Amino acid sequence: MTTEEIIWEGEQQRLIAKAKLIGVSETAEVSTLKDVLLNYRKGRKRIHLLPQHLEDNITKISNLLNISIKQVAQRYSTELTKAVINQRSIKSKKEITEIEKALKISYKLHTSAMQETRPGKHEYEIVEKMEKILISKGSRWAYLPIFTIRGERLHNHHYNNKMKKWDLIINDSGAESPNEYYSSDITRSFPVSGKFTKKQKGIYEIVLKSQLSAIKAIKPGVKYLDMHLLTARIIAEGLKKLGIMKGAVDSAVKAGAHTLFFPHGLGHMMGLDVHDMEDLGEDYIGYTNKIKRSEEFGLAYLRFAKELNVGHVLTVEPGIYFIPQLIKQWKSGNKFEEFINYKKVNEYIDFGGVRIEDNVLVTKTGSKVLGKPIPKTVKEIESLMKK
């Protein structure tokens, strides 16, 4: 190590020792890399690149290979990309252990958030409490957390709202495992008051039923697309019972009418990244030559659709949202009026949203929800928030 490296970074394991851990027998100084790559090109040897999304990496590759930035995107290797995806898609026992370490911390994040939430507090006060837990556990956020009373905004990353008695919280937050940095990704929805209103409970129970049904149906060989559509039908059935939707449920789902309330996909793979490997190309990860991505609203956002295999770890996160701008847009065009009771929908215009998310391992016989169970039934949540 150089003197500068020792001063700024401390003693580190040598690169050659790290390389041997992954079967690489030959290493060299980074300063020689450009010449090595140029010699490969002169010898007409193919250089395999992974897709890049970070500008710094794109610029670095452009400089190393003496090609334009535009050419970097055109030269990625499909073979290498698929090989990396195949290697990382099935999680080892050690990887599952790391994910569960992260989930152990996420359990503390979510249960403490429920207990600390009170009317009159600001969202940022709860986020601060959760962050202190992360620091105390030697962890960090797996992604920028969502903690909001504006649950209809799917990715709402500001925390300035004062929480009121009748507000409903969506807490989408997860920790990383210390040192190894494997992700967790959990969402819970709960009432600020500690007690669900009749309206909140009605919507919540639909989402919970859809999530539990999907988890129960997961097993090797089933398409995750079918799990998504299963939750969509349960959501549509539940909303029909409340008078929010109408008509034939299967026809409504086939037409996409339910996407006014459930506009995103059921879940995604997770591991080292919270949306594992999606920088390599979502269609490579979640789709095949036979299972193509839909172009329909809502269904197009399903990140993973193909058959499940033993060792896959995915999120299962259905939701119901009442998005005022989207409702107004659809209502003005009488979109799907044969399936949507807009008069009843107006009663929920300020409702917000509900999402419930767990991390699920595909096993030989079915599925397993990873981590210590975080309260998610109405009874469990209300009981915890009383303490």
- Reading the block at residue 93, the tokens are 């026992």
Domain positions in the chain are 3-88, 89-386
What integer pLDDT is reported at residue 12 of this predicted model? Answer: 79
- Residues 318-345: pLDDT tens digits? 999 999 999 999 999 999 999 999 999 9
CA distance 354 to 160: 20
What integer pLDDT is reported at residue 72 of this predicted model? Answer: 93
Q: Please check the confidence at residue 239 and state whether its pLDDT lies above 80.
A: yes
Q: Please check the confidence at residue 51 and state whether its pLDDT lies above 90.
A: yes
CA distance 299 to 262: 10
What integer pLDDT is reported at residue 83 of this predicted model? Answer: 95
Q: Which CATH superfamily is domain 89-386 in?
A: Creatinase/methionine aminopeptidase superfamily (3.90.230.10)
Q: Please check the confidence at residue 104 and state whether its pLDDT lies above 90.
A: yes
- Residues 184-218: pLDDT tens digits? 999 999 999 999 999 999 999 999 999 999 999 99
Q: Among residues of the chain, what percentage have pLDDT more than 70? A: 100
Q: Among residues of the chain, what percentage have pLDDT more than 90? A: 86
What integer pLDDT is reported at residue 61 of this predicted model? Answer: 94
With CA atoms as reference, report the closest residue to 96 among 279, 367, 355. 367
- What's the pTM? 0.94
CA distance 181 to 272: 6
CA distance 259 to 203: 15
Do the strands 313-316 and 358-362 form a parallel or antiparallel pair, or are they unpaired?
antiparallel
What integer pLDDT is reported at residue 321 of this predicted model? Answer: 98
